[in-house]
Amino acid sequence: MGGGRKRGRTQRRHFKQGRENVWKHNPQRPPAGEGGEGREGNPSWQPFATENPAFEEYYKAQQIIPEEEWDDFMNMLRKPLPSTFRINASCQFFQDICSQLENDFRKSLETEVSDEHEEDAIRPLPWYPGNLAWHLNFSRMQLRRNQALESFHEFLKRENEVGNITRQEAVSMVPPLFLNVQPDHHILDMCAAPGSKTFQLLEMIHQSTKPGLLPNALVVANDVDVQRCNLLIHQTKRMCTANLIVTNHEAQNFPGCNLSKFCSETCVDEAHLQRLEFDRVLCDVPCSGDGTVRKAPDIWRKWNAGMGNGLHRLQVEIAMRGMGLLKVGGRMVYSTCSMNPVENEAVVAEILRRCGDSVELLDVSSELPELARRPGLSTWKVRDRGSWFGVHEDVPRYRKSVISPSMFPSGKGSKDNMKDSTDMGEGNQETHTAINDSNNGDNLKTEIDCESGEAPARNKKLNFASSRTEHSDYPLHHCMRIVPHDQNSGAFFIAVLHKLSPLNENHAVDGVKIEQNMSKDKTGKVEKDLGSDKVSSEENIVQQQVVDDTNVLDEQNGDMDSKSAEDKNSEDAKVTVNEAEKGQAGTRDRRRQQNQGRWRGVDPVIFFKDQVTVKSIVSFYGIKDSFPLEGHLVTRNPDTSHVKRIYYVSKSVQDVLELNIKVGERLKITSLGLKIFERQSSKDGSPCTFRLSSEGLPLLLPYITKQILYASAIDFQHLLQYRTIKFPDFVDANFGEEASTLLPGCCVVVLREGHQDIGSIATDPSAIAIVCWKGKTNLCVMVSPLDGKELLERISLRFGLEIPKLDKEKPNQEITGPDEQPDCAIETADQECLPEIKESDMEIPDAKED
């Protein structure tokens, strides 16, 4: 099996095992030596040690901070990470939430401050624009366990679930800010799951959008693992956006969609998208994750220097592919949650080295001035199997296929190494290394001890230090290092790169492996057997794919026993998808096999062109002609008679879909668009077989002229509270009469309160509306219980309404009577599935990033 697949198995193992947040075992863990019983009175429980001599030795030697700050640095690393969250400025209740934080919670939590270094229990992060991000002086465990914080914790959970806030580590919010996103940008998030940064990008492009309008921007969120794509869909679904495409590819092999390579010049239409390029690329790569040790303290036990070495080349590959997909004049942000210069400055230096004058490293020190950051390093060393190396020439010959020149500041290799790399094909590097290992008489493949980071005793003869050091000629001080003790956060690394001109082909394909036979490889992997290393110059120009150095990570499997499982590393652990796809494809019926798209296990994206259905929807809801439907409706089922859900896509997404079809469906799309209509059967015999989706209602509301009602605050409150109300039981009798005259089927109820002109309510950003079902005798809401509760609390706070408690056993008795049932036989919104990879049902893991 190819090395790439072995690496995928390793990444899958790390991802599935995860890393338990051990702070939860002991939120008030006693200082070392004081003893004390563990959680739930278990006397045998012992708190995790927050020490690793190899970790301290490594970073002291790298001089990532001045020696006089070392104690402060280490003390902060040993403390639990405070919670942080961000308000979604594009959400409907943005102002209400800001007011609630400032006027209610900020005052009520003042007495709960638990850190002598913090004055406020809750405060805005000073560097985040618009006071949208907030810092809590409480760890996640304190929020769960402290009774005084219970109401605030419930507030956070509820608002996060409905998409009004996102619980995310503070430093994880930094990279998207340096992209300088504009409303018309096409953006690629290369390693996106679980999606907190993707959600942040979506917030940016939607922030100034008016009701009923979509931005021209586009976000493509990619992840290598199909299950993590589900997490990504689950996270971004809260945004209700038509401007998102989720793809499932290896980031380093993200396909290029260049129409000129598939069509003759005579068939190229300049009016349409010709090539998939991006104005902004977020390259938040897989990393060792040691900057998240405050959130995942078991990293202390598992950390070793080999983890960063083992990921270096993959990080370079991903970054180079991102640079190839970036438009000239575009900006790419490279970031990790690691402190290791081999994963950070070394990667940036290699990008600059390969790209030559085509790319520059930007000085962004004037942006976000209140963000405390340190400059990047210009010199560092590489540690391998207990030995320090300052220059690549000092690396033993048998390790030069693993410890590459790009890991060092100069990026220069020895003459011997250059000869080796010329003479050795990729397929025999492992054999070459094994021979040298044998000649040296030691089993050099012995794993490094995870506790000490050193090689076993029989390899101690390797423990020498290179006396020579190098300095990089590139302006790496423009990179940014965020360290924990500056602003009580995690650690992060960010570099902002600007593409000045098309990449020099010789630089772009230096050490690059061409992605071959894509049409035969349904999973998007490069072929296992590449045959000869000789690649034609024409292929080099057409394909600028990044090298998949399969043997390097295989060599480092013993050194990669751990990757961070907090949300950043949960964001970054990249996995192959073959096994999951086999299981999904195993039960396909014959009809689906015949209609199968290019990618096995994934239904194709089909433009919905059933004009009879579309006309019936337009007629039933009175949708204005100004709302564009043609070319914007898609589905995942080729059989239009069995379509369950119809999704709406923006013009930017439509252009990408059309291009993808022309180039042979090179993009493996797992999710896209905004669910706007859903098939609905009912015993009432509705003239329209499709109901409105709650997700799509805000977009469609300004264009609906039929099946729409305007309710008073009290009747709107009753609908949300009781969920089903008979027409005569509404407080406003006229409203009940109007509801009874509607056609049976789906309808919209808009809150009338606070609006002088009913005709302008639908175009008001503050308008509140819900999807309902009009039955023979009653009106029934089609909103999930969670969304209903959120709306109920919001209108109660806004209009000062009291929410009476219901009898839990008979919640509808006051409205429909104890023995009566709602006469709308419908599937409620809380039973809806996420936008699916398959039309069949799929379970989505209920995981969120906090």
The CATH number that applies at residue 284 is 3.40.50.150
| pLDDT, average across residues 445-473 | 52
Position 835 confidence tier, pLDDT thresholds 50, 70, 90: very low
Buried b (16+ CB within 10 A) or exposed e, 254-274: bbbbbbeeeeeeeeeeeeebb
Q: Which of 782, 665, 766, 775 is nearest to 719 (CA)?
A: 782
Q: Which residues span the domain enclosing 666?
A: 602-693
Q: Which of 560, 633, 649 is nearest to 288 (CA)?
A: 560
Position 42 confidence tier, pLDDT thresholds 50, 70, 90: low
What are 431-441's pLDDT values in tens digits?
333 323 333 33
3-state secondary structure 572-587: HCCCCCHHHHHHHHCC
Asked if residue 190 and residue 112 are part of one domain, the reply reads no
Asked if residue 757 and residue 639 are part of one domain, the reply reads no
Q: Among 2-11, 255-264, 472-481, 518-527, which range has the highest average pLDDT?
A: 472-481
Q: In angstroms, rounded to a whole number, what is the distance separating the alpha carbons of residues 90 and 93?
A: 9
Q: Which of 351, 379, 394 is nearest to 470 (CA)?
A: 379
Q: pLDDT higher for 449 or 643?
A: 643
Whether 449 shows a pLDDT value over 90: the answer reads no
Asked if residue 322 and residue 184 are part of one domain, the reply reads yes
Q: Which of 487, 504, 521 lies at the terminal end of a domain, its last residue?
A: 504
pLDDT on residue 413: 72
**Dihedral of CA 183/156/834/646: which sign?**
negative
| pLDDT, average across residues 711-738 | 93
Q: In angstroms, rounded to a whole number, what is the distance separating the alpha carbons of residues 697 and 377?
A: 50
Alpha-carbon torsion, ordered 685, 687, 690, 692, to 10 deg: -100
Q: In angstroms, rounded to a whole number, what is the distance separating the alpha carbons of residues 300 and 52?
A: 6
**Dihedral of CA 116/122/123/124: which sign?**
positive
Across 147-156, 598-607, 733-742, least confident range: 147-156
Whether 339 shows a pLDDT value over 90: the answer reads yes
Whether 215 shows a pLDDT value over 90: the answer reads yes
| pLDDT, average across residues 299-308 | 94
Phi-psi region of 130 (alpha: psi -120 to 50; beta: other; left: phi over 0): left
| pLDDT, average across residues 43-57 | 79
Q: What is the DSSP letter of 833?
A: P
Asked if residue 366 and residue 296 are part of one domain, the reply reads yes
| pLDDT, average across residues 113-118 | 52
Asked if residue 149 and residue 197 are part of one domain, the reply reads no
For the record, the structure tokens of 331 come out as 């900006």
From the annotation, which residues make up the binding site for S-adenosyl-L-methionine? 191-197, 223, 284
What are 373-432's pLDDT values in tens digits?
999 999 999 999 999 999 999 999 999 989 999 999 998 875 544 444 333 333 333 333
What are 290-301's pLDDT values in tens digits?
999 999 999 999
Q: Which of 283, 337, 450, 688 is catalytic?
A: 337
Q: In angstroms, rounded to a whole number, what is the distance separating the alpha carbons of residues 781 and 697?
A: 14
In a domain, 769, yes or no: yes
Mean pLDDT of the chain: 76
What are 671-691's pLDDT values in tens digits?
999 999 999 887 767 889 999
Across 35-44, 189-198, 463-472, least confident range: 35-44
For 243, residues 6+ apart whose C-beta sits below 8 A from its C-beta are 202, 205, 206, 214, 215, 217, 218, 219, 650, 652, 653
Q: pLDDT higher for 36 or 138?
A: 138
Q: In angstroms, rounded to a whole number, what is the distance separating the alpha carbons of residues 765 and 701?
A: 11
pLDDT on residue 473: 94
Q: Which of 591, 657, 350, 584 is nearest to 474 (CA)?
A: 350
In a domain, 404, yes or no: no
pLDDT on residue 490: 97
In a domain, 13, yes or no: no
In a domain, 385, yes or no: no
In a domain, 183, yes or no: yes
pLDDT on residue 816: 40
In a domain, 246, yes or no: yes
What are 488-499's pLDDT values in tens digits?
999 999 999 999
Asked if residue 350 and residue 321 are part of one domain, the reply reads yes
Q: Can you tell me whether residue 498 is helix, strand or coil?
A: strand
Asked if residue 741 and residue 634 are part of one domain, the reply reads no
Answer yes or no: pTM beyond 0.85: no
Position 767 confidence tier, pLDDT thresholds 50, 70, 90: confident
Asked if residue 354 and residue 244 are part of one domain, the reply reads yes
In a domain, 281, yes or no: yes
Asked if residue 627 and residue 752 are part of one domain, the reply reads no
Whether 70 shows a pLDDT value over 70: the answer reads yes
Q: Which of 167, 189, 224 lies at the terminal end of a domain, its last residue?
A: 167
Q: How many domains does the chain have?
A: 4
Asked if residue 677 and residue 646 are part of one domain, the reply reads yes
In a domain, 570, yes or no: no
Whether 10 shows a pLDDT value over 80: the answer reads no
Q: In angstroms, rounded to a whole number, what is the distance separating the alpha carbons of residues 815 and 783?
A: 18
Are 477 and 496 within 8 A, CB to CB? no
Q: Look up 337 and say whether it is catalytic.
A: yes
What are 783-814's pLDDT values in tens digits?
988 888 889 888 887 777 766 655 443 334 34
Task: State the angle between helix axes of 785-799 and 713-722 in degrees (0 to 180), rounded to the nearest 10.
Answer: 150
The CATH number of whichever domain residue 151 belongs to comes to: 3.30.70
Position 558 confidence tier, pLDDT thresholds 50, 70, 90: very low
Asked if residue 248 and residue 232 are part of one domain, the reply reads yes
Contacts 24+ apart (CB under 8 A), 39-44: none
Q: Which of 661, 693, 725 lies at the terminal end of a domain, its last residue?
A: 693
Are 615 and 602 within 8 A, CB to CB? no
Asked if residue 330 and residue 478 are part of one domain, the reply reads yes
| pLDDT, average across residues 743-755 | 88
From the annotation, which residues make up the binding site? 191-197, 223, 284
